Amino acid sequence: MAAPIESEPQAGRDIVGAVLKACSLLEHFDAARPTWTLNDLTSASGMNKTTVHRLMTTLIHAGWIDRTAEGSYRVAMPMFEIGSAALVQLDIRTAARPFMVDLADTFGDTAYLMVPAEEGAVCIDRLEGSNPLVVAGINIGSVMPYHAAAGPIVMLAHSKELRQRWIREGLPSFTDRTLTDTAELAEHLDAVKEAGYSISNSDYLPGVAAVAAPILGRSGSVVASISIGGRVEAFEGAALTEKIERVRDAAARLTRVAEALPQQN
């Protein structure tokens, strides 16, 4: 028998604010910043210093956080043990799904997850939003050329190996906006890498625009791209700016996951 769904007021009463605050502090610890001083953590979290000190002292007592010889905070072994247990069951598609759901629900666009392969960018997951446009021709299992559409291009921009293999004379054109000139394409890829995201506009499918950001693994290797696509009119102005921010944030969070995943043999 299914468990009853809690009402929002009931769920609110069951939430412990101090635990949420402690969890938000733990989210600041990652591979790029494994230790934090009290002052830095206070500044980054936006909480007052007394609250941060009390929460971190509680986490130390619980065994989740250690103190360094210099007095900074660092993640303790139980956190690594739990993380390792989770990673055994995790792959990038599983990790990306909640972000894709959020993007599709927020903007109504179709969310995509693509991974690099020898013959092109492979779509391994797709989630349609509420907007009426259905992007035909890009489905789970579709193999796309690296020099068109936001998802493939952002992977090409961040991979020296893919560039060496893919950029050549005679690339096919899919619309009049497809970049096929090698010099122009290389310049565009440099700009995409510098920006950290890619925007496409009718370069693969007429009337379809997209925003994509790369998911990077260890040593900056390209693991995947996450993107949203839809009607070109929906990818302009403030709406486009918000989509770029949300897609980049999702990719950054998934990059942290990908960096921690066990390396494949």
Examine the domain organization and report whether 118 and 153 are in the same domain: yes
Specify the residue for token string 């918000």.
242
pTM above 0.85, yes or no: no
Instruction: Decide if 2 is inside a domain.
Output: no
Query: What pLDDT does residue 234 have?
Result: 92
Q: Note whether 83 and 116 are same-domain residues.
A: no
**Could you say which of 67, 88, 109 is where a domain stops?**
88
Domain encompassing residue 38:
10-88
Tokens of 243: 């989509």
Q: Write the CATH number for 42.
A: 1.10.10.10
Is there a single domain that holds both residue 82 and residue 178?
no
Mean pLDDT across the stretch 72-82? 73
Phi, psi of 162 (to 5 degrees): -65, -40
Question: How many residues appear in the chain?
Answer: 265
Q: Does residue 1 form part of some domain?
A: no
Residue 215's SS3 state is strand
Residues 144 and 232 in one domain: yes
Q: Give the total number of structural domains in the chain.
A: 2
Which of the four pLDDT bands, split at 50, 70 and 90, describes residue 113?
Answer: very high
68 and 153 fall within a common domain: no
Residues 114 and 61 in one domain: no
What CATH number does the domain containing 139 carry?
3.30.450.40
Residues 255 and 225: their CA atoms lie apart, in Å, by: 10
Q: Is the pLDDT of residue 88 over 70?
A: no
Please say which residue of 57, 88, 119 terminates a domain. Answer: 88
Scanning the structure block, which residue is given the tokens 């070109």?
A: 232
Residues 134 and 106 both lie in one domain: yes
For residue range 130-182, what is the model confidence (pLDDT) as tens digits?
876 666 678 888 889 999 999 999 999 999 999 999 999 999 999 999 999 99
pLDDT surpasses 80 at 124: yes
Same domain? 55 vs 157 = no
Indicate whether 156 belongs to any domain. yes
What is the amino acid identity at position 195? A
Query: Are 54 and 112 members of one domain?
Result: no
How far apart are alpha carbons 227 and 104 in whole angstroms? 10
